[in-house]
Amino acid sequence: MSKKKHTFKAEIQQVLDLVIHSLYSKKEIFLRELISNASDAIDRAQYSGLTDKSIISDAPEWKIDIFADKEEGTLMISDNGMGMSEEDLDKNLGVIASSGTKAFAEALKEKKEVNIPELIGQFGVGFYSAFMVAEEVTVITLKRGEGQKAVKWNSVGDGSYTLDEAARDVSGTTIILKLREEQKEYFDSWRIRELVKKYSDFIAYPIRFKEEVEPVKEGDDSPEVNDEPLNAMTALWKRSKSEVKDEEYNEFYTHLTHDHQEPLEVIHAAVEGVIEFRALLFLPKQAGFDLMMPNQKHGLNLYVRNVLIGADFEMLLPEYLRFVKGVVDSSDLPLNISREMLQDDAVVRKIKSNITGKVLNSLAEMMRDEPKKYKEFYIAFGRIVKEGLHSDWENADKLKNLVMFPSAKTEEGYLTSLQQYVDAMPQGQDAIYYLPSEDISTARQSPHLEALTARGYDVLFFVDPVDQWIVQSLTEFDGKKLIPVDKGDLKLGDEKEQEETKKKLEGESAEYKSLIDYIQGQLKDDIKEVRLSPRLTDSACCLVADENAMNASMERMMRAMNQEVPKQLRLFEINPGHTLIKKMKSMFDENLADERLVDYVELLYGQALLGEGSAVKNPQRFTKLISELMVK
């Protein structure tokens, strides 16, 4: 192969420019990223060797070596992992669009903080962090397997790179950094030790360091290094929980997720019995980019007897817990198991059930013992957790205890659980009432609340889009039905009181029959029926959906998603005790041909539309009628 010059893809060059001109204060993270890449390369070699013995026929001692040469001004990170071919180099180091480079660059530009190295790992561009400290980067690599040839990759970050033949006897990869003049601190052993201990102590392979070695030439075997590894090499999940410090959990979490915030919660579990596995799980503080970007993989890292089988195994957790990060290590699975086999594996299903239970139990304990902390979690991930109500029947009761909502009685910014709602119910209330709405402000002003709040009942506000979906599954809690206040017949009080209310409305309906028929005639194309309301005390009117029909909030949401929705004719309820309705009845009784009644019916209907959060049919006409009425 002759030496070839290539140009970086435009998006890669944009990332390089941003990295080289340093939006980061922590340039030291380059070492973390390159060591992490070396560890991944060894993981891949081990896993590939399970099915292809020729890949690891030499039975190597897996290792990561760091060499410093002050005379040459180079720092090297070397591994004996999988290595790369010419095609791999061109694909992995020449273009990474599949890792979301464009989104990374945009996020980098928009970010206000200067210390944001977590973005590097989240978007798969960790290798390019080397250019933060190096003016030139060279990669010499030999891929494992028969017939492979060593390849050299080189770039000074000027928009291009070269690929050339190389001489290398040992499979793996060596990255040679020509350090910038101001970055010579990374030649010092104390600095390297400090960074390895800080960021990579838990890497499962020995990391060794040697300074001031003879220059390493292509084809030379790696020089000898000190035998004593810089890292502990003990997987955190293999250690007893009492032996692990918070700082170690935090560093491992950063290594795993590239999130530089501390995790909100750590779940460290060792399960023994019918199945045996260890798990180290983390609940993040905030929803990361991976949850916001489409088609992103989610899941846990799976180890089988200390061998990494792969990352993002989504079958280890239900979809509604996709924000959970961590690792699972099982001794009950075969080393050569594939993703396809895992889908139907009974052991995996048991592990999934066990882990799901531990996460939900941990959340329940947090909710009980640390409500402030749970609120922080719920604001970040509550919307995702709610999805489980629609899909996880096995844990339905646990999930019902975890969900929270704003309500008519809670102050702005506060949430209430279903259990708290039930515990606070006044005597005589036997159901849980809720109102779907696009926002809390609209919900608080809804006329549908009036009869309930007058009795001292609270009403939950379902204001997340997912709430409209989960109500199909969230039909009861603690033996009490959940009832929407904007649909169907609202029955309040005991049977005796309900009967009294029914008779009262029947008597008033006879008295108002002529006006009801008149309004029905005027609005025949817009409403299904006019009736007197059992739910209004202060407002003149409101619109109510049939018990099994789509309510106004759901209809608006579906239309906003460009979904075709059949026209929904709702019930138009009027309040016979309201001065306005009494006045209209008086006008109708005196002169049923009074032309003002047509306008007043239109205004009344417009008022009902606004009350439910919908737009009036003809805003200009509505405004004109209001103005004329004000003038009179």
* pLDDT tens digits for range 369-405: 999 999 999 999 999 999 999 889 999 999 999 999 9
Q: For residues 593 and 598, give the distance between their C-alpha atoms in angstroms, rounded to a whole number.
A: 9
Regarding whether 343 and 197 lie in a shared domain, the answer is no
Regarding whether 147 and 12 lie in a shared domain, the answer is yes
Q: Which residue has the higher pLDDT, 215 or 528?
A: 528
Regarding whether 80 and 187 lie in a shared domain, the answer is yes
Query: Is there a domain that residue 397 lies in?
Result: no
Return the number of other C-beta atoms located less than 10 Å from residue 546's C-beta: 16
The per-residue pLDDT for range 69-85, each reduced to its tens digit, is 998 999 999 999 999 99
pLDDT of residue 122: 38
- Residue 106: pLDDT band (50, 70, 90) is low
Regarding whether 119 and 57 lie in a shared domain, the answer is yes
Query: Is there a domain that residue 387 lies in?
Result: no
Q: CA 34 from chain center: how many Å?
A: 27
Q: For residues 608 and 535, give the distance between their C-alpha atoms in angstroms, rounded to a whole number.
A: 14
Query: Is there a domain that residue 89 lies in?
Result: yes
| pLDDT over threshold 60, residue 335 | yes
pLDDT of residue 293: 59
Mean pLDDT calculated for residue range 234-260: 86
| pLDDT over threshold 80, residue 526 | yes
pLDDT of residue 160: 82
Query: Is there a domain that residue 398 lies in?
Result: no
Mean pLDDT calculated for residue range 7-11: 65
Regarding whether 223 and 76 lie in a shared domain, the answer is yes
Mean pLDDT of the chain: 84
Mean pLDDT calculated for residue range 527-556: 88
What residue type is assigned to position 488 of the chain? G
| pLDDT over threshold 90, residue 308 | no
| Number of domains within the chain | 4
| pLDDT over threshold 50, residue 123 | no
Regarding whether 339 and 252 lie in a shared domain, the answer is yes
- Which position has the token pair 């992992």? 81
Q: Which domain covers residue 509, as residue numbers?
A: 495-548+559-631
Residue that finishes a domain, picked among 227, 258, 291: 227
| pLDDT over threshold 90, residue 631 | no
Regarding whether 330 and 269 lie in a shared domain, the answer is yes
Regarding whether 326 and 185 lie in a shared domain, the answer is no
User: Which of 95-99, 317-321, 546-550 holds the top average pLDDT?
Assistant: 317-321
pLDDT of residue 115: 35
Cβ atoms of residues 446 and 504 within 8 Å = no
Residue that finishes a domain, picked among 430, 465, 484: 484
The per-residue pLDDT for range 153-179, each reduced to its tens digit, is 998 887 788 999 999 989 999 999 999
Regarding whether 164 and 114 lie in a shared domain, the answer is yes
- Determine phi and psi for 156, rounding to 5 degrees: -110, 15
Handedness of CA 255, 256, 262, 268 (dihedral sign): negative
Q: Which two tokens stand for residue 323?
A: 């924000």
CATH number at residue 274: 3.30.230.80
| pLDDT over threshold 60, residue 124 | no
Least reliable range by pLDDT among 6-10, 29-33, 129-133: 6-10
Helices (H), 403-480: 418-423, 440-444, 450-454, 467-470
Regarding whether 369 and 275 lie in a shared domain, the answer is yes
Regarding whether 262 and 215 lie in a shared domain, the answer is no
CATH number at residue 533: 1.20.120.790
- Residue 98: pLDDT band (50, 70, 90) is very low
Query: Is there a domain that residue 12 lies in?
Result: yes
Q: How many CA atoms lie within 13 A of 60 on its CB side?
A: 21
CATH number at residue 442: 3.40.50.11260
Query: Is there a domain that residue 271 lies in?
Result: yes
Query: Is there a domain that residue 112 lies in?
Result: yes
Mean pLDDT calculated for residue range 32-54: 85
**DSSP assignment letter at 301:** E
Handedness of CA 157, 163, 165, 171 (dihedral sign): positive
Query: Is there a domain that residue 391 lies in?
Result: no
Q: Which residue has the higher pLDDT, 316 or 202?
A: 316
Regarding whether 616 and 538 lie in a shared domain, the answer is yes
| pLDDT over threshold 80, residue 310 | no
pLDDT of residue 76: 96
The per-residue pLDDT for range 263-296, each reduced to its tens digit, is 999 999 999 888 889 999 999 998 876 665 556 6
Residue that finishes a domain, picked among 227, 251, 267: 227
> What's the pTM value of the predicted model, to 2 decimals?
0.72
Least reliable range by pLDDT among 99-113, 149-163, 239-253, 516-530: 99-113
Q: For residues 524 and 516, give the distance between their C-alpha atoms in angstroms, rounded to a whole number.
A: 12
Q: Which two tokens stand for residue 574?
A: 């009027």
